[in-house]
Structure 1
Amino acid sequence: MQNIGEVLDARAVTSVFQPLVDIASGGVLGYEALSRGPAAGPWESPAALFAGARAVGRANELDWICRARAYRSILAADADPDLTWFVNMEPAASRDDCPDDLAPLAAAAADRLRVVTEMTERAIADDPSGLLAATAACRSSGWGVALDDVGADPMSLALMPFVQPDVVKLDMGLLRAPGDPHTARVVAAVAAYAEASGAVVLAEGIETAEHLAVARAMGATVGQGWYFGRPGPLPAGARAGSRLPFLPAPKRDRRTPYQIIADRRPAHAATKAQLMPMSRHLEAFAADGREPCVLLACFQEARHFTPATARRFARIAGRAPLVAALGAGLDAEPAPGVRGAGLDDNDALRGEWNVLAVGPHRAAALVARDLGDTGPDPERRFEFALTHDRALVLEAARALLAWLSPARLPALLGQQ
């Protein structure tokens, strides 16, 4: 019996493919590549394979192996260039360079294939700038991005607009519980995102005609599941019925939240004491529990992230997908469950006090620029703007995420 190290060293991974079908026409749009370990052995299932690789610290290498093996099978098939290939990826793997022996396959895929990289919503909470970097790198190759298993975890609803996926994949559990209130909330949030962005909605796990009817009712235009075909070898001469559309690549905004919002909303002067109730209101907005919410805040300096503030943020983090605090002197976890980031003396954020809250349906932001007063802290004046414009808040929040762990971000984005 092979141990997991031998499996990885031998690159003993194979790919099977499941069709993705246009629900209206029945035409095949592409295939999802699914990885398998050596047949009839302990590592055959992808769950066992990745668990074994994680146990020996080689999960990122396995991720590269799985993708490269999929690319090899597709390239060897000389398939229709209009077919779209869905390939799973863990964003953490982008932190490691592609193994030398697999690099030619990765390069050939970037040059010749139309790929959608699938990522799960948990990645943005684990490593938000890593996920954004990985998605940007995919799009720089002209590839698309899919957010997988949406609805399996309610947290994914708040995270979806940060990823800006070209394809939203509804979790198969939704088809089996169409009358559940959770399903209704997920479908409404996905429909709102798809309407605003033009993203494609794909329903997974379609096994019956009834599932297909439910998927249509949920707004899915693409289907996947045993009803259309089980995973297997690539069919000979596979052709695309039509081409799955991609969204325009999002542009990275290097401005601060204050610069983004104050450019389009009137700014006014107020003291810190006058702004505190607004700040607390946005924290309460994130904590009220009506919908999962992302909370991002800039405190200028660690001393403003007081023990009382830390307790409030830790409570919110206990039931939110992402809570972050940025300021000079803050460490990577300034409170339990809270992502932190320190700021250099010359960082533009040092002059800003920002609180941004983003849920699946609601969003609000208070952005403020320090006017440089030296008197008592409550009397320090700020120029501020307040907005509930969801699109504008999201624009500022996406820009702010780049500060959370930015050391490798420019290189991964391929930007200077």
Structure 2
Amino acid sequence: MDMEAGTTVIRSVDDVLDARAVTTVFQPIVRLDSWWRKRHEVVGYEALTRGPAGTPWESPLELFDAAAERGRRAELDWICRATAYRAAMDAGLPYGLTLFVNTEPQALDVPCPPDLAPTILDAQLRLRVVAEMTVRAIGHDPSALLTAAEAGRAAGWGIALDDVGAEPASPALLPFVHPDVVKVDRHLTRRPDVDPAARVVNAIVAYAERSGAAVLAEGIETEEHLAAALGLGATLGQGWLFGRPGPLPPDVADRRSTLSVPFVVPPATTGGRTPYEIVAARKPTAEATKRMLLPLSRYLEAMAMDPAEPPILLASFQEGRFFTPATARRYASAAGTAALVAALATELPAEPAPGVRGTALGGDDPLRGEWNVVVVGPHFAGALVARDLADTGDDGDRRFTYALTYDRDLVLDTARALLHWIVPT
């Protein structure tokens, strides 16, 4: 099929990518309290990609799927972001208005194409950008998502976590990415009365109160949706009620907002330290045998099986043989509802139990000397961190120095550390 995009003949998705033949439309993001006063105060815009009109790749979903089949998904992500930045800068988007741009975390591991690099660098100086990442990314590659968030902040940009609430487990991911903006999935705006919605909303509000993040409700098309969004605690909104995607307004360069999208203070990086090193630097440690520590570990694992507030469960077992069949059954049970269940040990397969993410440790990995169990939910957080004292003899009599903590910030630091070890499947 031959389609023309400008003067370029488009026969394949490769032609689209080679010609950089994508366009950007923009949807306004508004301050919700201003809508009640009929002032319709715009605080920013989300950039949305479209492929060449009239081609099979006009839809962004079809475009990205086709690019992925050709092994060029990361390149397309760079193209889309550069095109959005250029369109915003050419229109004169002022620094006081925030530009939301979707970002694939894995794409940041791929070098920027040289022809796009000047636009990317120019945007870092001229635009106030929030990089949007979806909660689904953490399930595929937690390390890439955290690294991408850190890279975005290093560039002076904010982070938004998209689709929060699309699954009941998604709020458990908030403290790991530590987004500046929580984008509430549209189904909560449309159906705020369903039972899971209350739990999700409470988790989002708790995170926003602790962090100072803004809550943005998507899919607002009616006054009823707007009322529901305000009931969810959203301060920002997006949807057809405020404007459909299209070009930036001709007077965008002259527009101002009295409310800036907040950039919150990010968590400190773990610096490559292990969970035991992180906790032992701040908490006293004690000595115990493995037999004495097992009930503490089992308690934390039981807390990971709460279907009402699905958490994240991360554990390192030193060696694969310690991930026993009984352990595998417990972790598979937790994986049925949890946002993420992951295990790390030597000689561990990619899925050591149904639904469990496995990461094989090298023989000289510092985690091989530690036994860690970390659970983080929307409200509960606990961690057992233990360092092997290298005893011989019966497994249950092996001694560890250990610490048990329910300090949420400290537990989150240990969880972030472990997430950086988890590699994509």
The CA distance in 2 between the partners of 1:371 and 1:348, in whole Å, is: 14
The CA distance in 1 between the partners of 2:18 and 2:383, in whole Å, is: 50
Q: Which digits, 9 at most, give the CA deviation of each residue in 1:228-267, with x for residues without a partner?
A: 1111101123123132220123320133222222333342
Larger displacement relative to structure 2 (326-335 or 44-53): 326-335
The CA distance in 1 between the partners of 2:30 and 2:78, in whole Å, is: 27
The CA distance in 2 between the partners of 1:278 and 1:157, in whole Å, is: 25
Alignment of 1:81-100 (within 5 A): 81-100=95-114
Q: Contact conserved, 2:318 with 2:345, CA < 8 A, in 1?
A: yes
**2:262 aligned residue:** 245
Larger displacement relative to structure 2 (2-11 or 345-354): 345-354
Alignment of 1:403-414 (within 5 A): 403-405=421-423
**1:412 aligned residue:** none
Alignment of 1:81-230 (within 5 A): 81-230=95-244
The CA distance in 2 between the partners of 1:252 and 1:341, in whole Å, is: 21
Counterpart AA for 1:359: G
The CA distance in 2 between the partners of 1:375 and 1:128, in whole Å, is: 37
**1:292 aligned residue:** 310
Task: Pick one of 33, 36, 41 that aligns with 1:27.
Answer: 41
The CA distance in 1 between the partners of 2:319 and 2:362, in whole Å, is: 10
Q: Contact conserved, 2:94 with 2:127, CA < 8 A, in 1?
A: no
**1:7 aligned residue:** 16
Question: Do the aligned partners of residues 296 and 23 (structure 1) sit closer, same or farther apart at CA in structure 2, a change above 3 Å counting?
Answer: same
Q: Contact conserved, 1:30 with 1:240, CA < 8 A, in 2?
A: no
Q: Which runs of 5+ in 1 are unaligned?
A: 407-416
Q: Which runs of 5+ in 2 are unaligned?
A: 3-10, 35-39
Counterpart AA for 1:88: N
Task: Pick one of 283, 286, 290 that aligns with 1:272.
Answer: 290
The CA distance in 2 between the partners of 1:39 and 1:31, in whole Å, is: 22
Query: Post-superposition shift, 1:291?
Result: 2.2
Q: Secondary structure at the match of 2:47?
A: strand
Q: Which digits, 9 at most, give the CA deviation of each residue in 1:148-203, with x for residues without a partner?
A: 11111122111111110000001111111121111111110000000000000011
Larger displacement relative to structure 2 (144-153 or 312-321): 312-321
**1:301 aligned residue:** 319
Shift >6 Å, 4+ stretches: none
**1:356 aligned residue:** 374
Task: Pick one of 390, 396, 399 that aligns with 1:372.
Answer: 390
The CA distance in 2 between the partners of 1:266 and 1:179, in whole Å, is: 46
Query: Post-superposition shift, 1:345?
Result: 4.3
Task: Pick one of 315, 318, 330 that aligns with 2:333.
Answer: 315
Q: Does structure 1 residue 390 correspond to structure 2 residue 387?
A: no
The CA distance in 2 between the partners of 1:266 and 1:82, in whole Å, is: 47
Counterpart AA for 1:73: A
Q: Secondary structure at the match of 1:287?
A: coil
Q: Contact conserved, 2:318 with 2:371, CA < 8 A, in 1?
A: yes
Counterpart AA for 2:106: A
Larger displacement relative to structure 2 (138-147 or 86-95): 86-95
Counterpart AA for 2:193: G
Task: Pick one of 58, 72, 75 that aligns with 1:61.
Answer: 75
CA RMSD of superposed structures (Å): 1.8
The CA distance in 2 between the partners of 1:343 and 1:55, in whole Å, is: 31
The CA distance in 2 between the partners of 1:353 and 1:122, in whole Å, is: 28
Task: Give the aligned length.
Answer: 406
Q: Contact conserved, 2:160 with 2:179, CA < 8 A, in 1?
A: yes
